[in-house]
A and B are shown apart, each in its own frame.
Chain A
Amino acid sequence: MRGKYFSYISLVCASLLMATACTKDGDYEVPKPKNELQNDCIKRSLGPNLVGLNIEFAYAIGIPAAKGKLVSAQVVASIPGVQVKPGDQANSATYLQDSSFYTNGSGVDVPVKVGDRSVTKEGANVVTFTKDTNAVTLRYFYRIPEEARGRTVKFTFTATSSNGETVSYDMGPYTIAKMDMKLNLTPTNNNKCYLSIADLALYNAAEAAANPDKIDLVYLYRNLSVQFGHALVAPAAPKDYLPGVTLPANVNRDTKLSKAWNVQDFHLAGLKYGTTFVDDVDFEKLDMSASPDFALGLKEEGGVWVETSDGKYRAYIFVNKVDNTAQSARISIKRYTLK
C-alpha cells in the first residue's frame, strides 16, 4: 500500500518537473512593420523648462514607399510659444525645423533640407515637404513664452501623407519653471557693486542711493592678509565684512547667504556641464534660517544661495569667473519668487 503511494507521488513530481523544464520562452519574432503612416517623438532637452529657453523635441515620421510620401508635419502647443517677430534672428523663436539630419563620419549632424521653412498657421507650426520623402525626423524648438510661467504645456505632433492618412503624437504635459534667470552680470569693485535681486541688476553707488530698498548685496574684492578675495555681503552685515565700503544712504537690507560648491548649474555655467540643474523645488526646500549675511572668499565655479531680507526672493548666484587684476567677477543668477 505504502509503496503504491510512493510511486504515485514520484510520478506526479516527475511530471511537474518535466512540465516546468519544458516550458519554453516565447520565440523571438522579427516585428512586422505596420503598413501605414507612423510617427514617434522624444524630448531632447533636459532640466527645468525656463521661460526664454527652448524645449526641444525630435519628431520622426515614416510611411512605406509603396503607400505614398509625406506631405506635411505640424506641432500645436497648448500655450503658443514665442513667435518670430520682424527683425528677429533666425531660430530665435518657436519653429519646426525643415531639415532632417544624418550623422557623418566625423560625428557631425548634417542637415538635409526636406521642406519649406516652417510657418505658423492658426497656432500650429507647419512644415510642408518639398522633397519626395517617406521618412524624416524633424526637430521642434519651443521657445517658452512668459505666459507659460508656472503652468503646464502640452504638444500635439501631427503628420499627413499623400494617401490621405494622418497620425498624431501627444507629448507632455511639461511644467514650466517659475524661476527667472539672468546670465553674465559683471560686478566691479567699488563701482557697479550693488546687486539687486528684485531687478536682477547691478548698480553703482548713485543708482543704489536712488533705489535703496532694492539693494540686497554688495560685491567687493579685497586683497587682505586674511582670506577675503571676492565677496558678496549684505549691506546690514558687520562692518568687518565691508572694509572700506561707504554704503549709500538707506542701503541697509539684511540678505542671507550660504556658500555652495558643486552646484554647477547647466544653465548658469554654460555648456561646460550637463548634469546639474537648480530647479524650483531646490528653492522651495531651501532652509536659510541659520545662514549668515556674508559670503567671503568666493571662487570660480562656486556659488551662493541667497534669501532676500523681505523673504520675497530666493536665488542661486553662480560665479562664472573671478578676475583679481580687474577686481571684478562674472556671475549668473537664478531667482525664485516666494511671495
Chain B
Amino acid sequence: MKKYIIITSLLLMTILIWSSCKKDQPIDEDGLLITTRSECYVSNFELLGADFQTVRSKAPVIDTVACTIQQEVFFGTDLKNLWPQFTLVTDAKLDPKITGKVDFSDLANPKKYTVVSGNRQVRKTYTVIITVQK
C-alpha cells in the first residue's frame, strides 16, 4: 500500500514539475507576440488628411534597401494634420507608434519610423520623404 502511495506521489510531482517548466509564448512590452520571423520591411504606405481621405497623388515609392518612402501629396494638402498608415510584414511593429495626427510640414527634416521584426532582433529605420504636387 505504502509503495503505491509513493509511486502516485512521484508521478504527481513529475507532472507538476513538467507543467511548471512549460514556457509561455514570449510577449513584448506592448503585449505583442514575439515570433521567429526576422523579415522587416514596409509593404505599403498611406497618408490621410484631416478629413481621413487620402492625400496621395501617386502611389508611394518604397525602397526597402535604402529604407525610404517617397510620397507625393496633392497640392494644398494640410501637412500639419496628416495621419500616416504603414502596412508592415507579418509580426513586425512600428516605432514610434502612431497615436494621432502627425505634423509633416517640416519637409527639410523628414520623419523617421523604425520597423521592428517579429523576433524583435532586426530594426530598420525608414525615412518618409513627402513632396507636394506642383
Contacts and interface: CB of A to CB of B under 8 A. Distances in A.
Interface of A: 224, 226-228, 231, 241, 258-262, 290-292, 294-297, 302
B57 A259 contact: no
Contacts of B75: 224, 226-228, 296
A294 B76 contact: yes
Contact of A302 (B51, B74, B78, B81): B51
B68 to A, nearest CB: 24
B107 interface: no
A227 B57 contact: yes
25 contacts: A224-B75, A226-B75, A226-B133, A227-B74, A227-B75, A227-B76, A227-B133, A228-B75, A228-B76, A231-B76, A241-B76, A258-B50, A258-B51, A259-B49, A259-B50, A259-B78, A261-B51, A290-B80, A290-B81, A291-B50, A292-B78, A292-B80, A296-B75, A297-B74, A302-B51
A108 B70 CA distance: 58
Contacts of A295: 76
Contact of B51 (A228, A231, A260): A260
The secondary-structure label for the interface of chain B is loop
Interface in B3-52: 49-52
A262 B134 CA distance: 28
Contacts of B103: 290
A295 B51 CA distance: 11
Interface of B: 49-53, 57, 74-76, 78, 80-81, 103, 133-134
Contacts of B81: 258, 290-291
Given A227-B57, A227-B76, A290-B81, 16 more contacts: A224-B75, A226-B74, A226-B76, A226-B133, A227-B75, A228-B76, A258-B81, A259-B50, A259-B51, A259-B53, A259-B78, A260-B51, A291-B50, A292-B78, A296-B74, A297-B76
B52 A261 contact: yes
Contact of B53 (A228, A261, A292, A294): A261
B131 to A, nearest CB: 12
Contacts of B78: 258-259, 291-292
The 5 closest A-B pairs by CB, nearest first: A296-B76, A226-B75, A261-B51, A259-B51, A227-B74
Contacts of B51: 258-261, 302
A226 B53 contact: no
Contacts of A292: 78, 80
A292 B133 CA distance: 17
B77 to A, nearest CB: 8
Contacts of A224: 75
B50 A260 contact: yes
A227 B103 CA distance: 21
A222 to B, nearest CB: 10
A296 B133 CA distance: 13
Contacts of B49: 259
Counting chain A CB atoms within 10 Å of each CB, the highest count among B50, B57, B74, B80 belongs to B50
Contacts of A262: 52
A298 B81 CA distance: 17
B104 to A, nearest CB: 12
Nearest to A233: B76
